Amino acid sequence: MKDKINILTIITYGVILSSISILLNDMREFDFNQFTAFQNWAKAANKTDPWFTSKNAIKWSFYVISAALFFWRGYLIYGFSYFLSILKEIEIGNYFSDKNSKSFKKIGDIFTSYAASVLILRFLLASIGKSTFNFFQEFKTELTILIPCGLAFYILAELFKRAKATEEENELTI
Amino acid sequence: MKKLTILKTIVDIFWIISILSIPLILAFLVFTIFDNSLVGKPMTVNGIRFRKFNWVSKMLLANSLIAYLTLVYALHLFRKILRYFQKNLLFDSYAIKTLNIIGIIFLVTSFFDSGIGFLYKLVRQKSMNLEYGLNSFVVLCILGLFFMILSEVFKIAKATEEENELTI
């Protein structure tokens, strides 16, 4: 089992590091493109127009929603770090520790909240005309894996709690 | 556990959708292997573009379809485990053995499906396509190893439960 844990730990580290680098690259590209678009818009904008117009509101909404999407992606990557702590606990023999149950529950929380939030944010992005929204496409990409995985992790948290209770009962018997 | 019921429902829905597609997939598999009417027509299978639909592309297509069928079988086994959990048979030997089998299926499928496609692109098309982050190969590897570790941990839990039951 130790070999499998080591391999899984290495793969998880690889996924976390590559996901972080992809996220940072996307943020840098977004920031760069947004700044270029903002400069072009500022050059062509009519200075006498009032600041609070629907065009400004749409621009800022797009920026805020995109920033929120980046935040949720980062939060999802943070969720994977709990996976590493579970593997570490199992490696040292603390199979049914409270830490593992809490980590499973936390991963479940992160996966389900990410799926729900990203669905809402992408719908909002489509409603301000900056993207297209196809529920079945979103379902295929985000919801197919994340929601069942999130639920599975909640169930694992419960199972590990029961296993811990059994273990404690066993340890207390003489 | 309410979440268990929701998960079982979602998995059942996926299972029903997968089952409905199996006859079509099997028919398509037999058709592609034995029929030559698609020969000469360009085709894209799992991101690999074939200019000629020859025996190599038939083998790759068959490989992808068989990988899909094995994943459907793994889904079927997972449904059975969830049924055991619903009956409160949490650390049953069948569940432990099946978790290990699911893990092996995921690992083998990930290597066969993605590995063969990668080798084909490298050897025949002289191109290498590396995907960082979460792709199907990495997800299946992670799930496979995770299920195998879970099987081992459940074995320990079962041993603890049995020891507990035997004490007076």
DSSP assignment string, B58-123: HHHHHHHHHHHHHHHHHHHHHHHHHHHHHTT-TT-HHHHHHHHHHHHHHHHHHHHHHHHHHHHHHH
Do residue A147 and residue B10 have CB atoms under 8 angstroms apart? yes
CA distance A117 to chain B (A): 19
Summarize pLDDT for B27-44 with one digit per residue, the tens. Answer: 877 777 777 666 556 666
Picking from B7, B132, B134, the nearest residue to A155 by CB comes out as B7
Mean per-residue pLDDT, A152-171 = 85
Q: Cα separation of B21 and B77, whole Å?
A: 18
Nearest C-alpha in B relative to A164: B157
B100 and A1 Cβ atoms separated by less than 8 Å: no
Picking from B90, B134, B139, the nearest residue to A159 by CB comes out as B90
Side-chain half-sphere CA neighbours of A73 within 13 A: 20
Q: Retrieve residue A146's tokens.
A: 């994340």
Domain count, chain A: 1
Nearest-CA neighbor of B19 among B82, B78, B85, B68? Answer: B68
Whole-number CA gyration radius for chain B:
20
How far is the CA of A7 from the CAs of A13, A58, B155, in angstroms? Answer: 10, 47, 20
Summarize pLDDT for B109-151 with one digit per residue, the tens. Answer: 888 877 777 777 766 666 655 555 566 777 888 888 889 888 9
CA angle, corner A158, sides to A156 and A160, nearest 5?
A: 65
Mean per-residue pLDDT, A102-129 = 84
Do residue A156 and residue B150 have CB atoms under 8 angstroms apart? yes
Mean per-residue pLDDT, B7-20 = 88
B-interface mutation test, from A111, A114, A159, A164, most B Cβ less than 10 A away = A159
Picking from A4, A155, A170, the nearest residue to B3 by CB comes out as A155
Q: Cα separation of A84 and A72, whole Å?
A: 19
Counting residues of chain B whose pLDDT is more than 70, the rounded percentage is 77
Q: Output the pTM of the full model.
A: 0.79
Higher-scoring residue by pLDDT: A91, A133 = A91
pLDDT at B37: 65
Nearest C-alpha in B relative to A6: B145
Confidence of residue A24 (pLDDT cuts 50, 70, 90): confident
Please give the backbone phi and psi of residue A116, each rounded to the nearest 5 degrees, phi first: -65, -45
A8 and B135 Cβ atoms separated by less than 8 Å: no
Domain edges within chain B: 2-166
Summarize pLDDT for A55-111 with one digit per residue, the tens. Answer: 666 677 777 888 888 888 888 888 888 988 988 888 888 888 888 889 999 999 998
How far is the CA of A100 from the CAs of A9, A85, A110, in angstroms? Answer: 15, 8, 15
Summarize pLDDT for B76-115 with one digit per residue, the tens. Answer: 999 999 998 888 888 888 889 999 999 999 988 888 877 7
- Maximum alpha-carbon separation in chain B: 75
Nearest C-alpha in A relative to B142: A8
Q: Is A15 left (phi over 0), alpha (psi -120 to 50) or beta?
A: alpha
- The residue range of the domain holding A83 is 2-45+52-172
* List of chain A residues whose C-beta atoms are within 8 Å of the C-beta of residue B161: 163, 166
Picking from B133, B141, B164, the nearest residue to A169 by CB comes out as B164
Q: Give the number of beta-carbon pairs within 8 Å between A and B.
A: 81
